[in-house]
Amino acid sequence: MSRICELTGKGRQVGHNVSHANNKTKRTFLPNLQNVTLMSEALERSIRLRVSTHGLRSVEHNGGLDNWLLKTSDEKLSLKARRLKREVAKKAIAAA
């Protein structure tokens, strides 16, 4: 499993550990990923995703998983999230 958020596309970053003597060694900064179960109101079921805590806050800010998926571009989303977005969009069109 890769260390990438399924909703925001946030991945690892590379930087340096810097010692007191200013020696620099490579290190990685990993996103804070959590396995969460989010409820989709349009699909009326729960979905398990691996999401960063930043992404989880963004989902809540946008009013839920369905709104987040419809507003987010496909490049940021994982394959699983893109399939969910397609399902939610179909349900939204059918409801309208």
What is the band of 96 on the pLDDT scale with cuts at 50, 70, 90? confident
Q: What is the DSSP letter of 18?
A: E
Query: Could you read off the pLDDT of 40-85 as tens digits, one per residue?
Result: 999 999 999 999 999 999 999 999 999 999 999 999 999 999 999 9
In 3D space, the residue among 25, 46, 24, 45 whose CA is nearest the CA of residue 35 turns out to be 46
Mean pLDDT, residues 19-25 taken together: 98
What is the band of 1 on the pLDDT scale with cuts at 50, 70, 90? low
pLDDT at 2: 84
Q: Which domains does the chain have, with CATH numbers?
A: 13-95 (2.30.170.40)
